[in-house]
Structure 1
Amino acid sequence: MSGISTIPVPDSEYRVLIIDDFIPGPNKLIDYALSSGRAPRSEKRYPGMRMPVPTGYLRYALATINVALRQCHFSHTLAAGEAYFAMVTTPPSALTTEQRIPHFDRPYTDQYALVHYLCAPSFGGTSIYQYNPTGQIAVTQDNLVSYQQSLSRELNNRATPQGYINGSTDLFKQIVDVPCVFNRAVIYPCALLHSGNIPPDFTPDLNPYTGRFTVTAFFH
């Protein structure tokens, strides 16, 4: 780790944790993805493919993130999780409506998601969004049903812009923008509405050395 920082999420109690130079030898992780012999699988919601990471990665990530959480005075300690290599492979023109808007991972603010960039900055970082009709930033168990009902009404009454969301729209306001930096880890509560900042001219590249290759993980 060469740097630990946080970004406050406006109009909320939440913060985004950033750890630069997250792991030593990040290129070896890319080498593993290519040489492990495991086949990646397509995901229904994720616009690409995923594959499990080596078990040692999860142990290292938990220990490193917990150090950073303590250093930055977060109240949570993480004990377990799951992590996957992830590669965006869906062209902007082929996205479903769900893939064209921000999403939340799980409706729990005490569980955390990680995006670990193993790609060039030009592939775009990650943004946190606010849902304009209700002002929601986090989708929790308490407001999950009302969010889903409101979003369904809005999507039935208007068309969503084509391609990956990359900035504010009529429905969603971009409130935090974290740039992509190679070997940077971005950690945030799973309940936050978020999306990758994938550019409009994104062209799928299936080579982990040159495509939008990351690790995504979920911790509790």
Structure 2
Amino acid sequence: MFNPRPTVRYVAIPGHAPCAVVDDFLLDPHALVARAVADQARFAVDPANYYPGPELDLGRDTALRLDEFFIQHIRRALGAQRTISVAARLALATLAPLELHPLQRLCHRDCAELAPGTGAAAAVVYLFDDARLGGTSFYRPTQGLEATARVLREAHAGIAPDAHAPGYLAASNAHFEQLCTIPAQFNRAIFYDGAIFHAARIDHPTLLDADPARGRLTMNGFFRFRKRSA
């Protein structure tokens, strides 16, 4: 399913582990797109994770294969020793800017509180041809922990973080500084520390489409792991 001889390059993220970038990730990416099209009716919105569109779980077999790739090629760079859990799903960003919940207008992290000695990582595979649909940007808070937590709590409660920013986050704002952006490219995968604030870089939301063959379709992976001893 995945390239057995990948070329992995690393993009530095100031203050964090680097982002691993793998082009030509899937051996047959068009087959996964075709699966998304065939199973479009099974995609569903999960309000618990605030993804701006419907998702489809890819099952345990795909998740375990993704974990095998992570173990063989990625985990050392992200400080992982042993995987605790892994999940994989297809996702399709569809919401128009004015439909976004305030929390969806901010960057986010892919982990809640982690137990000592554990970490989290995430993966995104871009499955669309039009790079204008957007890659992924990484951020750091511009304020202290409590001020940042307050902004996130207010957004979760439905209070807009910035009255002048009703759409997708695509640049620095008063609360978060954009550190770098990984451009989208068909069949490109990125792996990164799930504790880093990040957001899809959607500069052209009018291009979003509910059809998996034309829209911002991605394969997303999520890992929990035991950290490697120092």
Asked if structure 2 preserves the Cα contact closer than 8 Å seen for 1:43 and 1:49, the reply is yes
Shift of 1:203: 3.6
Residues 54 and 63 of structure 1: is their aligned pair in 2 closer, same or farther, counting only changes over 3 Å? same
- Is it true that 1:127 corresponds to 2:137 in the alignment? yes
Distance 1:205 1:37 in 2: 12
Match of 1:110 among 74, 96, 119: 119
- Is it true that 1:24 corresponds to 2:27 in the alignment? yes
Distance 1:149 1:51 in 2: 32
The letter for the 1-side match of 2:26 is I
Distance 2:160 2:39 in 1: 44
Percent identity, aligned pairs only, is 25
Please give the secondary structure, in 2, of the residue aligned with 1:86. strand
Distance 1:199 1:122 in 2: 7
What is the TM-score normalised by the length of structure 1? Answer: 0.84
Asked if structure 2 preserves the Cα contact closer than 8 Å seen for 1:69 and 1:77, the reply is no
Match of 2:64 among 38, 59, 80: 59
Distance 2:45 2:58 in 1: 16
Distance 1:21 1:132 in 2: 35
Match of 1:213 in 2: 217
What is the TM-score normalised by the length of structure 2? Answer: 0.81
Moved more, 95-104 or 32-41: 32-41
Shift of 1:210: 1.0
Distance 2:69 2:162 in 1: 43
Distance 2:16 2:107 in 1: 20
Tell me how many residue pairs correspond in the alignment. Answer: 209
Unaligned runs of 5+ in 1: 135-142
Unaligned runs of 5+ in 2: 225-230
The letter for the 2-side match of 1:76 is A
The letter for the 1-side match of 2:206 is F
Asked if structure 1 preserves the Cα contact closer than 8 Å seen for 2:133 and 2:208, the reply is no
Shift of 1:73: 4.4
Match of 1:163 among 160, 163, 167: 167
Shift of 1:36: 4.3
Asked if structure 1 preserves the Cα contact closer than 8 Å seen for 2:109 and 2:196, the reply is yes
Moved more, 147-156 or 184-193: 147-156
Distance 2:107 2:176 in 1: 8
The letter for the 2-side match of 1:126 is T
Residues 58 and 49 of structure 1: is their aligned pair in 2 closer, same or farther, counting only changes over 3 Å? same
Residues 87 and 171 of structure 1: is their aligned pair in 2 closer, same or farther, counting only changes over 3 Å? same
- Deviations 1:69-115 (CA, angstroms, capped at 9, x unpaired): 26x64431453301111000101121111111101110447211111
Distance 2:38 2:11 in 1: 36
Please give the secondary structure, in 1, of the residue aligned with 2:80. coil
Distance 1:195 1:13 in 2: 16
Match of 1:101 in 2: 106
Moved more, 157-166 or 188-197: 157-166
Distance 1:64 1:58 in 2: 10
Shift of 1:146: 6.3
The letter for the 2-side match of 1:209 is A
- Is it true that 1:149 corresponds to 2:141 in the alignment? no
- 1:73-88 paired onto structure 2 within 5 Å: 73-79=77-83, 80-88=85-93
The letter for the 2-side match of 1:52 is D
